[in-house]
Amino acid sequence: MQWCGLWAMPALRTALGDDFGVLPWPASRPGGGPVVRVGGWTSCVNARSRNVAAAKTFVRWLRVERTEPQKDWSESYGFHVPPRLSVAARSEGLRGGTAQEAVDLAAKCGRYSPALWNSTVNTLFAAAAVKVVGGGDAAQIPADAARQAQAEIDRQRA
C-alpha cells in the first residue's frame, strides 16, 4: 500500500498500468464513515480589508464563474479532483478507471480541508500519523495533535 496524494496518479498509471486502486480512509470512530480528504481549492478574503466586496467578487469570478482553469489544473498538472462535479464530468482524464473511482469517492466521502488548515496544522497531523505508524499510541497521539492544531486555529482566528 502507498499513502500519497492523488496528484501522483499519472506516475502510478505509467508505472503500474491499471494494477492499482484507490480507497478512502476508514472511519476513525464508531458511527463515523470513510473519508476522502480533499482540499487545495480554498480561497480566503480578509474580513478586515477595506475591499471585502471587491475581493469576494474576484474570488467568485476566479473560482465559481470560470470553470476552465479548474479543468486545466485537474488534467494538466498531475491528478486533481475539481471542486465542481460538472467540471469533473467534462474532464476527459477523470473519466474511467481509477481516476473515476477517485472522483466518485471524493463526491461520496469527501471532506474539505478548511482554510485554517495551514502548514503548521498539517505538520502536526502528519507527524502524528508517522508516530502512530511507528507503533505509538493510536489514541493519545492524534488527540494531542488535535489539541495543538486547535490552538493554532484559535491563534489564527484571534
Q: What CA–CA distance (Å, rounded) separates 51 from 58? A: 11
The pLDDT of residue 78: 78
The pLDDT of residue 83: 82
Q: 88: which 3 cell numbers? A: 469533473
All residue ranges of the chain with pLDDT < 70 are: 1-2, 40
| Total domains in the fold of the chain | 2
Q: What CA–CA distance (Å, rounded) separates 56 from 8? A: 32
- Residue 93: inside a domain: yes
Considering the domain architecture, whether residues 102 and 138 belong to the same structural domain is answered as no
- Residue 155: inside a domain: yes
CB 39 within 8 A of CB 113: yes
* Residue keyed to cell 473519466: 95
Domain span at residue 79?
Answer: 6-115
- Residue 1: inside a domain: no
Considering the domain architecture, whether residues 80 and 145 belong to the same structural domain is answered as no
Considering the domain architecture, whether residues 38 and 108 belong to the same structural domain is answered as yes
Considering the domain architecture, whether residues 51 and 77 belong to the same structural domain is answered as yes
Considering the domain architecture, whether residues 90 and 154 belong to the same structural domain is answered as no
- Residue 100: inside a domain: yes
Structure confidence by residue, pLDDT tens digits, 13-57: 899 998 999 999 888 778 989 988 877 677 888 888 999 999 999
Considering the domain architecture, whether residues 31 and 93 belong to the same structural domain is answered as yes
112, β-bridge pairs? 38
